[in-house]
Amino acid sequence: MNQLADRLSRISEPQTIKMAKLGRELKAQGIDIVDLSIGEPDFDTPEHIREAAKKAIDEGFTHYTPVAGYADVRQAVVHKLKRDNGLDYTPEQIVVSTGAKQSLANAVLSIVNPGDEVIIPTPYWVTYSEQVSLCQGEVVFVPSTIESNYKITPEQLEAAITPKTRLFMFSSPCNPTGSVYSKAELEALAAVFARHPQIFIISDEIYEYINYEGKHESIAQFGDLINRTIIINGLSKGFAMTGWRLGYLAAPLELAKACDKIQAQFTSATCSITQRAAITALTGELTTAQEMVAEFKKRRAFIHAALKDIPGLKVNNPEGAFYMFPDISAFFNKSYEDSHIKNADDLCMYLLHKAHVSAVTGTAFAQPNCIRLSYATSMANLEKGAARLKEWLGKLK
């Protein structure tokens, strides 16, 4: 075959997608896999949103839309940002896309030049560094561990900044750790950014509603940061709408225009029907989202207690999202029969093939001492999965 472009060698297949694929293959062979690798709510989209989409089809919303989304969808995003976050935007500052992933890509492509440094706290969601690499940016990781609840300190941030720093990217609530920065913690990071006005901030808030401890806070609220923060959000997680494909960003006007220009050359706009349903989601009642979160909270209590009960696992109690991110390094250099565990990848393969539990290796998120377990699955599955983890981890000596 003819030579492919060099940029392909800079990126890899997401481990999350790889694990889901492996799990599906084993399931197809008839093996009863408990899938804890999932990155999406296991709930149906709320009925009032589904109804809005059906109505949109019947009313003929089936044509191309403006690239950044229908005017009233962008207005609905403005309304949501005021209602939930107390932030003031105009519709021109909103660009609606085919998902938070595309919104992230729009922003990274609009900001990062080759050689620019981009600071990413670890663990982090796989896609961030890959998008930066596609733009030939240099990723600068700032590490955190379970001891600091997977959050970085203002001192660490300050130490990572150089004259070449262009961008800081993070998620709160975080995938893969579930950690949520408190208002005071965000304010302390914002104080560092106040001293470095050349830095843009991408604040990925896609898990906003899945927060068990308090109200969501955005870093855009502090000082002048609204003028250089790009808020990324969407419908996938909070409204259980992963397949509908709608994300959005809110940005300073010039940057929003840049993202519109980039998106116009890749996908145009997202689906017209999804956009009509989004108006209902963004302006309507949040009760179904709240019911889903109440259920996640029960599951978090169960899985947290169950994992704490397994000798060797180091566990924290994340404030948001639907992931646990235990430190599993106590199992390194242990064996059972022909399985030898050297690292988190080995442990995930052992759990998949022996315990029939699918998890994602921490290496995928730049934290090689950990694995990610999702509790976006039924309580029955969690009970089965936890029992298997206990049994098979217990065999490693």
CB closer to ligand PMP out of 180 and 393: 180
Taking each helix axis from N to C end, the angle separating 127-134 and 100-111, rounded to the nearest 10 degrees, works out to: 40
* 99 touches ligand PMP by CB under 6 A: yes
Nearest to 382 by CA among 359, 363, 362, 350: 359
* 372 touches ligand PMP by CB under 6 A: no
Q: Give the up-direction half-sphere exposure of residue 22: CA atoms within 13 A in the CB hemisphere.
A: 19
List the x/- string, 45-84, binding to ligand PMP by CB under 6 A.
----------------------------------------
Number of residues that bind ligand PMP (CB under 6 A): 13
> Mapping DSSP to helix (H, G, I), strand (E, B) and coil, where does residue 342 land?
coil
Nearest to 204 by CA among 167, 240, 241: 167
User: How far apart, in whole angstroms, are the C-alpha atoms of residue 267 and residue 67?
Assistant: 8
Q: Out of 19, 34, 93, 101, which residue is the one contacting ligand PMP (CB under 6 A)? A: 101
* 206 touches ligand PMP by CB under 6 A: yes
Which one of 97-105, 217-225, 284-292, 358-366 is the stretch in contact with ligand PMP (CB under 6 A)?
97-105
CB closer to ligand PMP out of 91 and 247: 247
User: How far apart, in whole angstroms, are the C-alpha atoms of residue 335 and residue 348?
Assistant: 14
Q: How far is the CB of 39 from ligand PMP (least distance, A)?
A: 4
* 175 touches ligand PMP by CB under 6 A: yes
What residues numbered 219-248 form the site for ligand PMP, per CB under 6 A?
234, 236, 242, 247
* 218 touches ligand PMP by CB under 6 A: no
CB closer to ligand PMP out of 224 and 266: 266
* 352 touches ligand PMP by CB under 6 A: no
What are the two backbone dihedrals, phi and then psi, of residue 322, each rounded to the nearest 5 degrees? Answer: -135, 45
Q: How far is the CB of 374 from ligand PMP (least distance, A)?
A: 10
Instruction: Pick left, alpha or beta for residue 149 (phi over 0 → left; psi -120 to 50 → alpha; otherwise beta).
Output: left
What residues numbered 23-42 form the site for ligand PMP, per CB under 6 A?
39
* 267 touches ligand PMP by CB under 6 A: no
CB closer to ligand PMP out of 137 and 247: 247
Which alpha helices (H) appear in the chain, and where do they start and end? 15-28, 47-58, 71-85, 100-111, 127-134, 154-160, 183-194, 253-266, 272-283, 287-308, 344-350, 379-394
Q: Out of 52, 76, 96, 100, which residue is the one contacting ligand PMP (CB under 6 A)? A: 100
CB-based contacts of 210, cutoff 8 Å, min separation 6: 173, 237, 238, 293, 296, 320, 321, 322
CB closer to ligand PMP out of 102 and 288: 102
Angle at 288 between CA 286 and CA 290, to 5 degrees: 70
CB-based contacts of 261, cutoff 8 Å, min separation 6: none
Q: Out of 171, 179, 374, 377, which residue is the one contacting ligand PMP (CB under 6 A)? A: 171
Please report, as ranges, the residues that interact with ligand PMP according to CB under 6 A: 39, 99-101, 125, 171, 175, 204, 206, 234, 236, 242, 247
